[in-house]
Amino acid sequence: MEHKIYQIHSYKHDGSIHRVWEKSVLLDETDEYIILGNNKCKVIESDGRTWYTKEPAIIYFFKNKWYNIIAMYKKRGLTYYCNISSPCVIEENTVKYIDYDLDLKIFPNNSYKILDRDEYEYHKEKMMYPTKLDSILNLELKKLIDLKRNGDWPFQDGVGLYYLNLYKQLIGR
């Protein structure tokens, strides 16, 4: 089955490249979002170091929301890694967004942890995030927590599994 391949480019607020994921498969796209899947994907850091993701992942990028969501299918269960970020932009088979460091990790038991607040505060100061941007990013973090607590899309049971199965069909596994 033929499938469309995208790269993912993460940037910092100052426009510098942060990280590149080489190959992800298009699973769905609407006016509101684009959903990609990958597994053992090569990732290139801004300093040139490379590494590979360890498990299948479904990535939800939003065109009008200030976050993206990675559903990782680990042996111990489904883990979500949510990045507070700019809405994504799609150009020439590349999904691009600004990573604002602040992250939310949701564990298989549904507990969660806010990550990298120190890194966020450092970059907020260094790159002079406007007050309005800071307010938006913190509000979006709260919205993400509420989405998960309420079991809203894409955290609803079965949503991620649907896309994971679609990904496996597309790549022939």
The 3-state secondary structure of 11-54 reads ECCCCCEEEEEEEEEEEEECCCEEEEEECCCEEEECCCCEEECC
Q: How far apart are CA 159 and CA 12, in angstroms?
A: 30
**Which two tokens mark 65?**
């929301």
Residue 24 CB coordination number (10 Å): 26
d(CA 166, CA 143): 28
Residue 49 neighbours by CB distance under 10 Å: 8
Among the options 19, 76, 117, 149, which is catalytic? 19
Q: Which residues are within 8 A (CB) of 42 and not within 5 positions of it... i.e. 6 or more apart?
A: 21, 22, 23, 50, 51, 52
Catalytic status, residue 19: yes
Q: Which two tokens stand for residue 85?
A: 């970020």
Residues forming the active site:
19
